[in-house]
Structure formats: C-alpha cells, structure tokens
Structure 1
Amino acid sequence: MDALESLLDEVALEGLDGLCLPALWSRLESRSPAFPLPLEPYTQEFLWRALATHPGISFYEEPRERPDLQLQDRYEEIDLETGILESRRDPVTLEDVYPIHMILENKDGIQGSCRYFKERKDITSSIRSKCLQPRCTMVEAFSRWGKKLIIVASQDMRYRALIGLEGDPDLKLPDFSYCILERLGRSRWQGELQRDLHTTAFKVDAGKLHYHRKILNKNGLITMQSHVIRLPTGAQQHSILLLLNRFHVDRRSKYDILMEKLSMMLSTRSNQIETLGKLREELELMSWCAVLSS
C-alpha cells in the first residue's frame, strides 16, 4: 500500500468508533509494514488534507475527549521455544478505549460498536465544503475540537478493511458477528483471545461467542490458533487466538514444528515405528528428554 492507502486503512480498521488525531498518529507510527512517510508536522498536515477531502471519511465531535490509545504487544514475553507467553508479572489491565456498544438493526445498514453513536455530532460540513475543499487546517481543527474530534470511515470502507480484497462485500453478517470482526480488525496483528472477548469485552457466555465465532470461521473471515499463557504462579491459561485473515501469522512453537517433523518421519517407517536414538540423531537433538520437558 502507498501512504494514502495506508492512512485510509488505519482509519477504517478503527471501526465505527473512529479515532482522534493523536491516536491516528500512534497507529501510523506502529503500523506494520512501516508507514512510508516520516510523521513530521508538514506530513501530518498533508495527511489531514487527504482525509478532510475524502468523500468516504466523516468527522464527528464527541461529548467527551477520547482517552489516550494505549498499544500493548501481546508477544513481548513469548518463549520462542515453546510458544508459551511467559507472564513474569501480574498483567496490567489497560483502559478499554472502545467499550462494546453494539449498533443493532440500524435502518441505514450501519454496523459496528460505538459508544457515542447517538450523542456525537456530525461536523463534516465544518471540515470540508460540499465541493470537497478543506475549511480548516489540522492545527485549526485540533485547536478547536481537540481529542473530541473523531475521524470515521464509511461503512463500505470499514467492511472492506475487515474482509480483505478476497472477501465478499455482499455477505451480510449478524450485528454481533460483525462487532467481533470489528474488534479483531482493531487489534491488527495482535489478535484477540476468545476468553477475553467473552469475559471482558462482550461480557457474554462462552457459548454465544463460540456461535458467532463459528459464523466468521465458516465464511473464511478469521483464523484461529491455540494460545497459552504461563502465569507468574506457574499455572497455564489456555485460549484461542483469533485474527483477521489479513493479519494471520503462524505462531506455532518450535515444539509444534518438531512434532510435525516427527510425525512425517514416522509415517515413512515400517509400521510407523523407530527407536528414540535414531529419531534423535535424524532430528539433530542433543536430548530427547529436554524436548519433551520444554
């Protein structure tokens, strides 16, 4: 993607809630692959103008300033050997800047979650003219509205960002399923744990979340893989990591890869049997016991 495509993509991925200017710069700074332009003031003004004149972008004033967006790396403490996230300290719960407020059966076809959907004020006409000419600079806009100024992509842009170029834009998802998909889009490469979605974000029973996850999986919109966290106490928490297709990363541990190689080797042996010594030699392992205990 070029710079402008990446810019629109970041706005679209933030969902119906949208994002304020500081959050936009934060998203672009942490974007992967890296955003191609330096986020200097003159670049920010150029990007602002691109958003202000784009017909698929709307601007709103929310009743309260948007809290700062805090990004956290889920894989910062992951053990590459085992694929287990080694939590060496008690997890710090970050404020959820986007609490779930689902929009249900909207007559205009709007889907997603938005805390101030009914309260926020559309100020797009103050940002640009009907001829798509900007009415204010970025500095002027931020001075006037601050972090109450929210940038939101159109429904079509948001849905396309979630389903990718291969997805069917005519596919109609239940509102609940769409909100899960939107949540995954906002998490980018980090993904969301199914356990966190049903206990913390949506606060519903596991069965309901599982049902809507199956809808997304059946339509080929998400990927799933096991995820294990080892707590400071030594206990392990098991869950399922959900990702949009476009952000899928195979995070299999070296142990999983080793087991796959072992299975393939045994499938070529007579009666699928081989001695530990021979397997260890072919797999170039110093200690078979060490592998099993990892």
Structure 2
Amino acid sequence: MEALWAALDEVALEGLEGVSLGALWERLAGRLPPFPLPLPLEPGARQLLWATLAAHPELRFHLLPQPRPPLRLYDRYEEIDLETGILETKRDPLPLDDLYPVHMLLEHSGGLQGSCRHFKERLDVTDQVRTRDLQPCCTYEEAYEKWGERLVLVASQVLRHRTLIGWEGDPDLKLPDFSYCILERLGRARWQGELQRDLSAAFKVDAGKLHYHRKVLDKNGLISMQSHVIRLPTGAQQHSILLLLTRFHVDRRSKYDILMEKLSTLLSSRPAQMETLSNIREELGLCEKTFKRLYQYMLNAGLGRIVSVPLQDVRPERGPFKTKKGREAAIPVCAYLCARWQSRLLGPARHLLMFPLEDGPPEASFPTAGLPSGCSRSFPAGRGDRGL
C-alpha cells in the first residue's frame, strides 16, 4: 500500500502533463523519502504496481502525438558552498530544455487546471488500459511495447489539487489558473524548487506580474521562499528567490544568513537601533575574517548602505562635535533595511538596522527618510573595508 501511495504521489506531482512510464521509474528512484521497494523493480513487482495503477479510478491514461523525451533530473545544490550558501557554479547557468513548456488551461469548462502542451492533441486511451469495472486490459510489458513513452499517466484534478495543497489543506480552496500553474510547476520541481527568475522566463511575464500571482500562494501558506545566490565563473553574483511547495521546504540558510538573523535581533534591541562594529563583533563572538565576510555578505546582497550620522548622535560621550571648519562632525553609518530581508523564520521585519563604520564601503545611494535626524549623504567609492 505504501508503494502505491508513493507512485500515486509521483504521478500527481507531474501535473496535468502526466508522467511517462520511463519518467515514473526515474521519479521513484529519486524519491525522498525513498521508495519502499528496492529499485530497479523486479519484473513481478513492476507488473503488480502497474496493475494497481491501471485499475486506480483517480488515474487516466493518454497517448501523446510523439514519444516524450527522457526525463533529466539535476541537483541544483551539488555545487553549493555549505558555509556561504552560494552556488559556486563552474559554468554559466544555461537552462535545460524545458520538458514541460507552459501552456496554461484558462477557465476550462470542466474545471480542470494546470499546464499541458498537448492537451488538445493527446488521446484518452484509458478504455484500452482497463475495463469499466477497473480491471487491467494489458500487462506492463504489453503496454510499453505498444505505446512506449507516448503513454502518460495523468492524475485526476482532485488528486493533483490535494497533492499540491497538502492533505491537511482546504479542499475547497480555489486558486486562479495562473497561480495554480505556478504551484503545479513547484510540485514538479519537488525538493529542488524553482527560482523566481526562471519562473518569469517560463511563464513569459515580468517580475511584477509573477509577484502578484505568487502572493496568492504565499497568503494561503502553500509555498515557502528563501534567498538563492549563484556565483558565476566571472565572480559576479546572481540573486534570486527560491520557491518551494511547503511540503518540500528545507531551510537552506547559510552560516551568514543565520548570523544576519542574530545581527538583526541584536540591533533591534539597541537604542535607535545602532551599534559600533567593535561591539557587534564582540557580542556575536566572531573572528575578524568571519566578521568581514558577514559585512561583505550583507553589502553584496544589497542589504547594507552607508549614510552619514552626526557623531553626537552615535557617541555622545565623545567630542568635539565640530570640525576645525566649524561643521558638524559626522561618522559613517551602515544602514540596513530589514524590509528587504525575507526570512520565513523572522517574518517581514520592518525596522531599520544601523551600525557605525570606521570607513565606508563603495558608494551606494540610500533614502534618508526614517533615519535619525541629521543623516545625509552616502560615502564615496574606494574606501573599501578599512577599519574592519
């Protein structure tokens, strides 16, 4: 029974496109938790599973116009730096051929939802696979010899919907067709998830429209989101958001993500949410190298900016507060806007985090609204990380 439910789950996760026989065995081999039967299946076990699936009322069988290409699975995390959480790719990330290009069903009269390239062309051959009283008409070997990779198993709308939203979810939840297709694609990605920028390309929409439809899924607790960084061979970094079904969520935060959370908690407890670098480093218990990498991590992610704050506001015990030219003495302050820090554990924090720097990083513009009085310009480029 456990093997049957695992197979049904894999069929349902493939969405309206369905799964070919060869792809089904690939999915079962890569399943987490592992498939309960030893793989590859013995002919007898494979025939038993086929007979059970062929007779299942929640499955239909369709014949594609041409054989579906082999399923190619890849692990986006195999080159991840476990310390930084950055994908250290040795090559430019070229997209694989999309086995399931987006062709959305919109306002289907039968209530079907999902994406299917050959929805109108494929033939329903369920009557050739089983009888009306749910008895198999052919063995696995006979079916594969006759149809090969043209034959796909497709789960019912109810089974696909429940598999995506979770069996504890609301079965009456109605999602817009576009949002459902995003959810379907995340289900097909399993534990790998989908990058938001890849979804924009697949659906041929801009980030704003995708964000709108993504909000529907997030609001209903159907997906999880976390940051994802790729470092290209050139050294440049690409930042995106990794989306996963809630059931496949894995907290892949790097060491520096966790330190950023601690930094957020530390600074939010300070008066005016400001603190000196030396005090931050001491309280976090970091060596100079780790602290410098944390600082660079924040800047590279676009979470930090440098502004000027009057010295009197930051260190009132020190003086003088006027320069030799009679101007008000100021100190560089790194301002961290936590609204851009999206952590599922922290939630959307709204406060502004700041700490003084001895020297500023490269130039970055930053709005001064909401900062303590006296905050002004950003500092010029070229001052690097001296003083860290």
Fold conserved between structures, TM > 0.5: yes
Q: How does 1:111-260 map to 2 (within 5 A)?
A: 111-199=113-201, 201-260=202-261
Shift of residue 38 of structure 1?
A: 1.2
Shift of residue 254 of structure 1?
A: 0.3
What TM-score do the two structures reach when normalised by structure 1? 0.93
Residue from 295, 300, 304 that aligns with 1:292: 295
- Please name the residue that 2:60 is paired with: 58
- Cα-to-partner distance string for 1:168-214 (whole Å, 9 max, x where unaligned): 11111111111011000000011111111112x11112221111111
User: Which of the two has greater helix per residue?
Assistant: 1
Shift of residue 127 of structure 1?
A: 0.7
Shift of residue 289 of structure 1?
A: 2.9
Q: Residue 243 of structure 2: SS of its match in structure 1? A: strand
- Is 166-175 or 281-290 further displaced after alignment? 281-290
* CA–CA separation in structure 2 for the residues paired with 1:263 and 1:104: 43
* CA–CA separation in structure 2 for the residues paired with 1:3 and 1:285: 50
Write the letter of the residue equivalent to 2:173. Answer: L
Write the letter of the residue equivalent to 1:127. Answer: V
Shift of residue 79 of structure 1?
A: 1.1
Q: Residue 211 of structure 2: SS of its match in structure 1? A: helix
Structure of greater relative contact order (alpha carbons < 8 Å, 6+ residues apart): 1
Q: How does 1:259-274 map to 2 (within 5 A)?
A: 259-265=260-266, 273=275
* CA–CA separation in structure 1 for the residues paired with 2:212 and 2:21: 36
* CA–CA separation in structure 1 for the residues paired with 2:160 and 2:280: 54
* CA–CA separation in structure 2 for the residues paired with 1:275 and 1:210: 36
Q: Percent identity?
A: 65
Write the letter of the residue equivalent to 2:250. Answer: V
* CA–CA separation in structure 2 for the residues paired with 1:154 and 1:95: 27
Residue from 78, 81, 92 that aligns with 1:79: 81
- Please name the residue that 2:321 is paired with: none
- Are 1:10 and 2:10 matched, yes or no? yes
Change in Cα spacing, 1:206 to 1:270, as seen in structure 2 (3 Å) is: closer
Answer whether contact 1:4 1:47 (CA < 8 A) is retained: yes
Unpaired runs of 5+ in structure 1? none
- Cα-to-partner distance string for 1:225-253 (whole Å, 9 max, x where unaligned): 11111111111111111111111111111
Q: Residue 226 of structure 1: SS of its match in structure 2? A: strand
Write the letter of the residue equivalent to 2:233. Answer: P
Answer whether contact 1:266 1:274 (CA < 8 A) is retained: no
Write the letter of the residue equivalent to 2:27. Answer: R
* Bigger Cα Rg: 2
* CA–CA separation in structure 1 for the residues paired with 2:234 and 2:76: 19
* CA–CA separation in structure 2 for the residues paired with 1:194 and 1:279: 34
What TM-score do the two structures reach when normalised by structure 2? 0.71
How many pairs does the alignment contain?
293
* CA–CA separation in structure 2 for the residues paired with 1:265 and 1:174: 41
